[in-house]
Amino acid sequence: MRNHYSSVSSSALATGCGGINIFSQRRKERKGRQGSLFPLSLRSWRSLRENCVSGVLFRAGRPRSSEAIGGLAAWKKSILRVLAVQLPFRSAPWSSGAVGLVLCLALIGCGPGRSDEPVEFRVPVTIAEVGTGAVEDRINATGSLRASQVVTLTVESRGILNLAQKDGRRLAEGDRVTVGQIVAEISGEDVRVAARTAATRRRFESAQSDFEATEELSEQGLINESELRRAETTLEDARLEYDRSLLLEIRNRLVTPIDGVILTLARDSNGRPMADGQLVAPGFAVAQIAPTGQLVADIDIVGLDVARIREGLPVRVLHHAFGDQEFEGRVVRLAPSINELTRALRAEVSVGNDSGLLRPGMFVEAEVLIERRENVAVVPRDAVADRAGKRVVFVLQGQRVVRREVELGLGDDRTVEVRSGVEQGERVVVRGLETLADGSRVRVTGT
């Protein structure tokens, strides 16, 4: 029984081994037809991996050594060996992936290497030339225009208002008037006043005739001295009465005492215009007249400028409606105290207005000139940078810039005087200087 089972086991084992050998042989034949994913030895693949690492480091810009260069050459040879084996067996379903992997590794290490010298970036900048010009130290302020003086014509007796005529029409606000021109007349009492004036005139003329006759008789010695003095007293009384009548008549005519422009004319308590024939009471303001050839700008000075402003300084006044047109003025008065609410010092500026363009009530800008210098070296304000508490500029020299410390003088928001550090004609950076340092390379993009 043991021999039977032994022979059976031996036969089965032989049969099984034969089957395994046949399967192994067929697998080898199939692999021979399709090719192998790993045609290289394990040692070759390890060499390929190490060389790939060397190639990646070489491409990443690591310092080149003789070992790295040799590794790159060996790595490329390994790549070619893999490609030489894989290309004849493109029919395998996994062969395209293997070839793609190899190509990706090849692309990582191929291409031009980085230069041994670091790449230097050129900063784009805009430049301007150091020139000469005038610089000013000034105080900028704002304020409102008003008339230097205002004359108000008021009614002294109750009556009917009648405005005067000009060029065949009724006077209106904005019209110019001259000294002695009638603006309005108040009627209603005019008949009684006229009658009284006529009566006093007649009495005056009669007294004057009596005095002349008495004086003639006195010269002839026909009357005594007392009668002559009595006639003289009567004449003086008649003259005074007549003058009072004339004055009362004149008061019913409102006449301007100055040359100027009518600011307001015949408006009621609500500010509405009044027509002729309206009854007005004593104290009613018929018109306000002001000269406009010389206006006053009230400006407010704040902060440290309070200590710099003084009377007599020239002032330029501007209004946006007239563009860059300037109106000359001068500081004529400073307030004796500071406003408690605004903490500002009020300054009065006399402004010439011969053109008549400016009007009371306009909001204007004022430039008070403290100091002015002519023909000095100037640069744009944007060319000056603050580095570590020092004022510097960057001067263009070839394709690089040189940092220089400068001493500044007068200036404004646009230009500033440079007393030392640069010369006329040199070119300085005005834009792009935020990241510049001494010796930086630049690329000029504009002027």
DSSP three-state, residue 198: helix
Q: Which of 163, 196, 127, 66 is nearest to 401 (CA)?
A: 127
The confidence score (pLDDT) of residue 394 equals: 96
Q: What band does 37 get if pLDDT is binned at 50, 70 and 90?
A: very low
**Mean of the per-residue pLDDT values of the chain:** 78
Q: Which amino acid would we find at residue 113?
A: G
The confidence score (pLDDT) of residue 447 equals: 83
Residue 204 CA to residue 194 CA, distance in Å, equals 15
Higher pLDDT, 285 or 20: 285
Both tokens of 150, joined, read 């205002």
Contact 349, 334 (CB under 8 A): no
Over 50: is that where the pLDDT of 87 sits? no
Over 70: is that where the pLDDT of 52 sits? no
CB atoms < 10 A from the CB of 314, how many?
A: 15
394-436 pLDDT per residue, tens: 999 999 999 999 999 998 888 999 999 999 899 999 999 899 9
13-28 pLDDT per residue, tens: 334 444 444 445 555 5
Q: Which amino acid would we find at residue 309?
A: I
Over 80: is that where the pLDDT of 199 sits? no
The confidence score (pLDDT) of residue 183 equals: 93
Q: What band does 385 get if pLDDT is binned at 50, 70 and 90?
A: very high
The confidence score (pLDDT) of residue 80 equals: 54
Cα-based distances in Å from 30 to 25, 84, 160, 197: 9, 20, 133, 149
Contact 241, 233 (CB under 8 A): no
Alpha-helical runs (H) found in 124-189: none
Q: What band does 253 get if pLDDT is binned at 50, 70 and 90?
A: confident
The confidence score (pLDDT) of residue 361 equals: 92
308-362 pLDDT per residue, tens: 999 999 999 999 999 989 999 999 999 999 999 999 999 999 999 999 899 999 9
135-160 in b/e form (b: 16+ CB < 10 A) is bbbbbebebebbbbeeeebebeeebe
* Of the listed ranges 59-73, 244-258, 370-384, 397-411, the one predicted with least confidence: 59-73
Q: Which of 139, 100, 119 is nearest to 303 (CA)?
A: 139
Q: Which of 225, 231, 237 is nearest to 212 (CA)?
A: 231
Over 80: is that where the pLDDT of 161 sits? yes
Both tokens of 159, joined, read 């009556």
The confidence score (pLDDT) of residue 196 equals: 64
Burial of 101 by CB count in 10 Å (0-12 exposed, 13-18 middle, 19+ buried)?
exposed
The confidence score (pLDDT) of residue 43 equals: 53
Percent of the chain with pLDDT over 90: 47
Q: What band does 89 get if pLDDT is binned at 50, 70 and 90?
A: very low
Q: Which of 327, 356, 333 is nearest to 345 (CA)?
A: 333
Contact 414, 382 (CB under 8 A): no
251-280 in b/e form (b: 16+ CB < 10 A) is ebebbbeeebbbbbbbbeeeeeebeeeeeb
Q: What is the mean pLDDT of residues 86-113?
A: 48
DSSP three-state, residue 403: strand
Residue count (the chain): 447
**φ, ψ of residue 228 in degrees (nearest 5):** -65, -40
Bridge partner residues of 431 (DSSP): 126
CB atoms < 10 A from the CB of 175, how many?
A: 17
